[in-house]
Amino acid sequence: MTEPSPVAVAEWPDYLDAVEAAALALEQQVLTGGAARVPVITQPQGEAPGGIAERRDAVAAVVARVEALVTQHQADITRRLAATSRPTSHPDDPAGHQLGWTLDIMG
């Protein structure tokens, strides 16, 4: 599987758009059972302008929602894995030998 390409943005509005798009794509990947892949997004230099506070808060809400979904999904997977049965003994091969119990070093 290839890693997503890094996303370089120069302006804060583009950065927020890229973060939101990545979060929504991750949400879809989790909901459809796909492999979760998130691109590296480079934050623009300097302070965020004050005029984008509302947009920043909206994007932060999307990221928080997706983070909660991913956390729940991870907890579900952990529960399912913990519930799987574990072998209690080594299987026997067709010749009746118990596999994994001894090591024949003499051939």
What is the distance between the alpha carbons of residues 15 and 24, in angstroms, rounded to a whole number? 14
On whether residue 94 sits in a domain, the answer given is no
- Structure confidence at residue 99 (pLDDT): 58
What is the distance between the alpha carbons of residues 41 and 32, in angstroms, rounded to a whole number? 23
On whether residue 14 sits in a domain, the answer given is yes
For 96: left if phi > 0, alpha if psi spans -120 to 50, otherwise beta; the answer is: left
Does the model's pTM come out above 0.95? Answer: no
**Positive or negative CA dihedral for 100, 101, 105, 107?**
negative
Summarised one tens digit per residue, pLDDT across range 21-69 is: 999 999 999 999 888 888 999 999 888 888 999 999 999 999 999 999 9
On whether residue 107 sits in a domain, the answer given is no
Range of the domain at 53: 7-83
On whether residue 48 sits in a domain, the answer given is yes
On whether residue 103 sits in a domain, the answer given is no
- Structure confidence at residue 85 (pLDDT): 78
On whether residue 56 sits in a domain, the answer given is yes
Q: Supply angle C-alpha 53, 15, 46, rounded to 5.
A: 70
